[in-house]
Structure 1
Amino acid sequence: MAREVPEVPEVSGPARDVRRLPKAHLHLHFTGSMRPSTLLELADKHGVHLPEALTSGEPPKLRATDERGWFRFQRLYDIARSCLRTPEDIQRLVREAAEEDAADGSGWLEIQVDPTSYAPRLGGLIPTLEIILDAVHTASEETGVGMAVVVAANRMKHPLDARTLARLAVRYADRGVVGFGLSNDERRGLARDFDRAFAIAREGGLLAAPHGGELAGPSSVRDCLDDLHAGRVGHGVRAAEDPYLLKRLADSGITCEVCPASNVALGVYDKPEDVPLRTLFEAGVPMALGADDPLLFGSRLAAQYEFARTVHGFTDAELAELARQSVRASRAPDEVRDRLLTGIDDWLGSTA
């Protein structure tokens, strides 16, 4: 049965503060969540030389639609990641990510991480993931933001590495790992090369949430669905170019984790108004707005909702529906979902 586009009644009155709108944040990368000021302090602490693009106080100029541009983006990310060297650094990053989300109205955060990138400095894969999960548990208790982890494989590495990560992720499913992802440039490699890793993750009860449909077109989204049996798609925005794919996503209720600011920053779309939020929304494709890598793109979660409002004319009622979609697509416990959904209704019923 086709999924109906939700009827969103108009709500009159002044615009409400989107930071007070309860929501879930489902697309946030680990190092990319770092505060710029924290990056500067950790670089000084560990004697890491940062390029001007990371010290200027402004988001770096990036355009990743060609291989050279993507390499520059990845290089900056890798330099920032090299500043995370101790358990205390990890704890600080996670706590501050939760604080930022709390300020933006997020009641549930699923942070994505490839632990192999940090393991050499933290004693190996298992100690690294345990440090991250302990940090997530502590930050959640301190900030009130529910948190979980999506372990992500790197599609630039061998598929056997992904299988190792999938087994590790399943091992910690009872400690806060809720999903398994696949990140990096989807123009490289084939999704089906990672099908066994995703089968391991799904059989272990984890959500399949690979990246697709950002730097590559609609075919990469179809590959995520056909080869990896995705329950959510990281980005997925290029599905807007294929009406049949839009219908498939809508009919199956598969959520796209759309990150508008990063789409523009990376050159996927030239102008903010080109990001097809309306196309996806009106086709009935569920969306969860995400900040992706605020360290490099300069905006966090609430700004994505402001983007939808100011650039694409989303009403407060439509923003509330986007927030509901993010909550429904999350792996939050039922009591957290119920609380957030009630809060969304309260926000919509309030005055600005």
Structure 2
Amino acid sequence: MMLPKVELHHHLEGGAPPAFIRGLAAQKKMDIGGIFDERGNYAFRDFLQFLKVYEAATGTLRTPEDYHRLTLAVLEEAAASGVIYLESFLSPDFCGGRDLSAWREYLHAIREAAEAAERKDGIVLRGIATVIRHFGPDKARETALCAAETAGDFLRGFGMAGDEMRGKPKDFAWSFDMAREAGLRLTSHAGEWGGPESVRDTIRDLRVERVGHGVRAIEDLALVDELAEKGIVLECCPGSNIALGLYPSWRAHPIARLHDRGVKVTISTDDPPFFGTSMEREYTRLAEAFDWDEGMFMSLARTAADAAFCDDETRDKILKRLEKEVV
């Protein structure tokens, strides 16, 4: 279903094709054995092992030039799947170890690659500076300082990823308050492994306007109604949830039930090569599971464009392209 697509929940390193990481490791003579299966795909059993494999793959990315090349590769893949606007999580933890000067260099390299990809393929990238939750609140504060100092027309948001079972959302409130004061818009992973209570705690304590995943809110219908009433947007990643065993099948995924109850849901890939997915595959499998048609997908894309953290001029351009590029 080759429709124009808007994606809001995507990790830049998580978009690295396995061949790209293997090539980088070989070039640098790094041993990252054990993170690929016999077919050359990323290999992991569960979410915690996924985090270890993710961080091992990310360990090959050591310079701004590495991130420039990564960004070009990731955006080429996304554009081939019909994505016209992408927001990706960028972490100062991986890009310079939370050193502000180094972070600026990495961010500059990513942005240069994004501009080249936009000229070539028409895809627009914006960044969301991201705390790694299991690194702890103190390091999150350093990340927030990096984000606040580089907020602007490219770096638009602030969020939190990582092990959802480590700490409480309120432990990171200082960082989110700093980001908000710097003009960054807020999202956070919740309701994937932590259950509906993690969604409730996150929207209360961090005052986010979007929630990454958030799908386990379906286990608490009062919370579902609260999300609908407040207009909180869920960045749903069905293929990721199924690959990690959160749900047994596409039909079992709650995205349709959440939508039917009035929650603003969007579609994203999370870490596409890790989970064997793409935006095109997400659309195809959701259409098969729920009989969604082109009109439904265009409606969800408009919801995503409305919820995007970009400036209004960019949003207007994306909305016009959504209407113009339907094929």
TM-score, length basis structure 2? 0.92
The aligned counterpart of 1:205 is 183
Aligned residues: 326
Per-residue CA deviations over 1:261-304 (Å, capped at 9, x if unaligned) read: 11011111122221111111101111221111112111112211
1:224 CA displacement: 1.2
Q: Is the 8 A contact 2:98 2:146 kept in 1?
A: no
Instruction: In structure 2, give the amino acid aligned to 1:119.
Output: G
How far apart in 1 are the matches of 2:113 and 2:160? 23
Conserved in 2, the CA contact under 8 Å of 1:273 and 1:312? yes
Whether the aligned pair in 1 keeps the contact of 2:98 and 2:142 (CA below 8 Å) is: no
**Gap change, CA 1:287 and 1:121, over 3 Å in 2:** closer
- Distance in structure 1 (CA, Å) of the matches to 2:295 and 2:105: 44
2:241 is the alignment partner of 1:263: yes
Alpha carbons 2:93, 2:132 under 8 Å: kept: no
1:336 to 2:314 alignment: yes
Matches within 5 A, 1:3-18: 18=1
Shift of the 305–58 alpha-carbon distance from structure 1 to 2, 3 Å rule, reads farther
Corresponding residue for 1:50? 32
Which secondary structure state, in structure 1, belongs to the residue aligned with residue 135 of structure 2?
coil
Write the distance in 2 (CA, Å) between the matches of 1:137 and 1:340.
16
Say if 1:140 and 1:146, in contact at 8 Å, map to a contact too. yes
Alignment partner of 2:152: what SS?
A: helix
Look up the match of 1:91.
68
Match in the other structure for 1:39: 21
Where does 1:69-88 land on structure 2 (aligned, <5 Å)? Answer: 70-88=47-65
- Once residues 314 and 163 of structure 1 are traced to their aligned partners in structure 2, the CA distance between those partners, rounded to angstroms, is 42
Note if 1:313 corresponds to 2:294: no
**Mapping of 1:150-169 within 5 angstroms?**
150-169=128-147
Distance in 2 separating the partners of 1:185 and 1:274? 24
1:133-152 correspondence to structure 2 within 5 Å: 133-152=111-130
Once the two structures are TM-superposed, the CA of residue 251 in structure 1 deviates from its matched residue by 1.3
Which has the higher mean CA deviation after the structures are superposed, 211-220 or 311-320?
311-320
* Aligned-partner residue type, residue 309 of structure 1: A
Shift of 1:62: 4.1
SS in 1 for 2:31: coil
Equivalent in the alignment of 2:89: 112
What is the deviation of 1:127?
3.0
- The answer to whether the 8 A contact 2:160-2:189 is kept is yes
Task: Mark the runs of 5 or more structure 1 residues left unpaired by the alignment.
Answer: 1-17, 65-69
Amino acid at match of 2:78: D
Note the 1:161-240 alignment, pairs <5 A. 161-240=139-218
Aligned partners of 1:234 and 1:254: how far apart in 2? Answer: 11
Of residues 122-131 and 262-271 in structure 1, the stretch that sits farther from structure 2 once superposed is 122-131
CA displacement at 1:58 relative to structure 2:
5.8
Q: Which runs of 5 or more structure 2 residues have no equivalent in the other structure? A: none
CA distance in 2, matches of 1:261, 1:336: 28
Q: For residues 243 and 155 of structure 1, what CA distance do their matches in structure 2 show?
A: 27
Secondary structure of 2:126 counterpart:
strand
Specify the alignment match of 1:22 in structure 2.
4
Give the partner amino acid of 1:100: E
Mapped to 1, the partners of 2:119 and 2:153 lie a distance apart of 14
Does the C-alpha gap of structure 1 residues 167 and 86 become closer, same or farther in structure 2, counting only changes over 3 Å? closer
Contact 2:190 2:202 in 1 (8 A): yes
Deviation of 1:23 (Å): 2.2
SS in 1 for 2:87: strand
Contact 1:63-1:265 at 8 Å conserved across structures: no
Please report how far the alpha carbon of residue 324 of structure 1 lies from its aligned counterpart in structure 2 after TM superposition. Answer: 1.1
CA RMSD of aligned residues (A): 2.2
Deviation at 1:119, TM superposition (A): 1.4
Q: Which moved more, 1:54-63 or 1:288-297?
A: 54-63
Q: Which of 227, 252, 258 pairs up with 1:249?
A: 227
Overall identity of the aligned pairs, in %: 34
**What displacement does 1:231 show?**
0.9
Contact 1:170 1:177 in 2 (8 A): no
Between the two structures, name the one with larger relative contact order (CA 8 Å, sep ≥ 6).
Answer: 1
Contact 1:62 1:265 in 2 (8 A): no
Please report the TM-score for the alignment, with normalisation by the length of structure 1.
Answer: 0.86
Q: Displacement of 1:233 after TM fit?
A: 0.5
The answer on whether the counterparts of 1:264 and 1:272 sit within 8 Å (CA) in structure 2 is yes
Contact 1:40 1:55 in 2 (8 A): no
CA distance in 2, matches of 1:151, 1:217: 24
